[in-house]
């Protein structure tokens, strides 16, 4: 019964906070972003008491559902939208952050309640992600608005390096202090976990858009914290080194790519997840794609549109791409949506391989699953080339040859290095690697046939979703003959 009484108390606190802020807003006309954060921070701090207020995750689920219904009504019910809705809806950007916030509270509470750890650590697994979301995200937004001068490009425009640095500092202390005071984790391990989580969650915040950071930050914080708590100090040091190296590699190669700044950080995060869950063999395919894909992207402008006197040339990328300054860059046309599209199939195989029991994953042994994982990235590399084919005289013979050439190049640049450095020159590895080439080619042909009508009906996001579906589908189809081959050899 106390659980349901506490649900009423929390909802009353939310309503009272909204009424108070609306009255202040009408009297003083404060900054809209400040008002929004003054909803975010008190309610976030209140969630820190949930492990003691609620004994059942179902009560938190009901609370989250009622909160979402209330918040949605502030947008859709006109009288409410014109009054209380101004507290959350007066900022210029469109965002569903408050809805994502409620979803993340419920999700993280469930995940912490179901985790197989002592009660004290269960509470920390909920409190630390909520603390990061509440304090680090709010401080980063306020510092970025007030002091942000060094900008980097994102899906929605810009974020600032000053805001991201503030996020890292607050996230570091949000992890370090609770672990140091309320857990049995060693001091050195606590320090390393705080640094690693601060960096990784900062990357999540940098790549998020339209309030979805309210989902990415707490759920990512929970998963990363849960994964790192049991690691030794040497394992943590290697993971910190890997994080820094991946970010530096992304920034160093950035000028040769078509990715904006937040997309580069997204590449580093995907690389870290691959390395953490699978090790170097699972990092190599996305790394090879990232390094090789500039050879598959066509010029975004004609060469004469660039001025060689004012713009240095890159040996790999078109001159229009080459710009080392932060800020808007004409050739940085691909966002984190493109990164998610390219990595979607690989991440599915990575997760399936990580759900293992004594070396055997959900679908079979880990090494065989590495073949369709590699195939997924080779397919995506070929699709990048096919996607750049001109619509003019689309069905000409030259384009058919280009599809075959892209397929061969993608296979050589991804699958062949995996054979040399990972799989080894066994009969099984050789046949499995050879089998991936016709699968890459068939995927590229299928995408080429459907791309022309898709261009007339799909926007950029829909196009990237279709490419992700292609790579997922054909890598799944490739899994069947590869597994049959492994069972017979």
Give the pLDDT band of residue 89 (cuts 50, 70, 90): low
Residue found under tokens 């899994």: 479
Write the pLDDT tens digit of every residue in 212-242.
888 889 999 999 999 899 899 999 999 999 9
Q: Which residue has better confidence, 31 or 194?
A: 194
- Structure-model confidence comparison of residues 96 and 43, the more confident one: 43
What are the angstrom distances between the C-alpha of 379 and each of 349, 412, 469?
14, 12, 11
Max Cα-Cα span within the chain: 78
- 83-97, 100-114, 155-169, 444-458: lowest mean pLDDT where? 83-97
Tell me: the pLDDT tens digits for 375-413? Answer: 999 999 999 999 989 888 899 999 999 999 999 999 999
Tokens encoding 306 = 């660039």
Question: What's the count of helices (H) and strands (E) in the chain, helices before strands?
Answer: 21, 2
pLDDT at 304: 37
> What per-residue confidence (pLDDT) applies to 310?
37
What proportion of the chain, given as a percentage, has pLDDT over 90? 46
Average pLDDT over residues 17-46: 83
Q: What are phi and psi of 175, to 5 degrees?
A: -90, -45
- Which pLDDT does position 459 carry in this prediction? 75
pLDDT (0 to 100) of residue 96: 73
Give residue for tokens 């050899």.
489
The stretch 90-113 carries a mean pLDDT of 80
Q: Which residue has the tokens 């790519």?
A: 257
Residue 362 has pLDDT above 50, yes or no: no
Going from N- to C-terminal start, the domains of the chain cover 250-301+315-489
Q: What digits encode the pLDDT tens for the residues 300-350?
A: 433 333 443 333 333 344 433 333 333 334 467 888 999 999 999 999 999
301 backbone φψ class: left, alpha, beta (φ>0; ψ -120 to 50): beta
Rounded CA gap, 224 and 218, in Å? 10
Distance from C-alpha of 480 to C-alpha of 439, rounded to nearest angstrom: 12
50 within 8 A of 60, measured Cβ to Cβ: yes
> What one-character-per-residue DSSP string does 237-297 give?
HHHHHHHHHHHHHHHHHGGGSSB-HHHHHHHHHHHHHHHHHH-HHHHHHHHHHHHHGGGGS
In the predicted model, is pLDDT for residue 369 greater than 60? yes
Task: Judge residue 247's burial from the number of C-beta atoms within 10 Å of its C-beta, 0-12 exposed, 13-18 middle, 19 or more buried.
Answer: buried
CA distance 346 to 342: 8
Residue pLDDT, tens place only, 414-454:
999 999 999 888 888 888 899 899 999 999 999 999 988 88
Q: Torsion angle of alpha carbons 144, 147, 149, 151, nearest 10°?
A: 0
Q: What tokens appear for 421 in the block?
A: 């450095």
Burial class (CB in 10 A: 0-12, 13-18, 19+), 395: exposed
Count Cβ atoms below 10 Å from residue 393 Cβ, excluding itself: 9
């Amino acid at each position: 019964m106390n659980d349901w009484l506490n649900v009423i108390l929390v909802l009353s606190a939310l309503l009272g906070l909204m009424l108070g802020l609306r009255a202040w807003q009408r009297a003083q006309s404060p900054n809209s972003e400040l008002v929004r954060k003054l909803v975010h921070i008190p309610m976030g701090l209140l969630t820190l008491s949930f492990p003691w207020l609620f004994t059942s995750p179902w009560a938190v689920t009901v609370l989250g559902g009622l909160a979402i219904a209330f918040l949605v009504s502030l947008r859709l019910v006109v009288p409410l939208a014109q009054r209380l809705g101004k507290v959350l809806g007066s900022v210029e950007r469109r965002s569903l952050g408050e809805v994502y916030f409620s979803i993340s509270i419920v999700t993280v509470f469930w995940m912490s309640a179901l985790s197989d750890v002592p009660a004290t650590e269960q509470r920390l697994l909920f409190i630390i992600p909520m603390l990061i979301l509440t304090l680090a995200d709010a401080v980063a937004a306020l510092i970025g608005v007030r002091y942000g001068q060094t900008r980097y490009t994102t899906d929605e425009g810009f974020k600032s390096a000053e805001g991201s640095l503030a996020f890292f500092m607050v996230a570091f202390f949000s992890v370090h202090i609770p672990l140091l005071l309320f857990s049995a984790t060693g001091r050195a391990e606590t320090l390393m976990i705080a640094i690693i989580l601060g960096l990784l969650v900062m990357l999540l915040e940098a790549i998020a858009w339209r309030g979805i950071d309210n989902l990415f930050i707490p759920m990512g914080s929970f998963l990363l914290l849960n994964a790192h708590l049991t690691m030794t100090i040497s394992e943590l040091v290697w993971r910190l080194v890997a994080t820094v190296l991946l970010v530096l590699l992304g920034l160093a190669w950035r000028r040769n790519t078509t990715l904006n700044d937040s997309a580069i950080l997204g590449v580093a995060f995907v690389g870290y997840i691959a390395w953490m869950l699978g090790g170097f063999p699972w990092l190599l395919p996305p790394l090879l794609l990232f390094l090789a894909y500039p050879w598959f992207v066509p010029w975004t402008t004609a060469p004469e549109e660039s001025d060689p006197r004012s713009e240095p040339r890159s040996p790999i990328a078109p001159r229009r791409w080459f710009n080392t300054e932060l800020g808007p860059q004409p050739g940085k046309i691909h966002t984190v949506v493109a990164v998610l599209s390219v990595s979607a199939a690989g991440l599915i195989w990575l997760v399936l391989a990580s759900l293992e029991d004594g070396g055997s994953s959900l679908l079979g042994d880990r090494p065989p699953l590495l073949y369709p994982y590699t195939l997924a990235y080779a397919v995506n590399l070929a699709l990048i080339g096919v996607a750049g084919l001109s619509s003019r005289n689309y069905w000409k013979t030259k384009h058919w040859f280009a599809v075959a050439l892209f397929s061969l190049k993608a296979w050589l640049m991804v699958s062949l290095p995996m054979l040399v450095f990972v799989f080894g020159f066994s009969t099984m590895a050789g046949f499995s690697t050879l089998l991936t080439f016709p699968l890459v080619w068939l995927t590229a042909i299928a995408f080429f046939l459907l791309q022309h009508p898709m261009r007339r009906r799909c926007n950029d996001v829909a196009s990237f979703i279709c490419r992700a579906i292609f790579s997922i589908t054909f890598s799944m189809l490739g899994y069947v003959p590869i597994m049959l081959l492994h069972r017979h050899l």
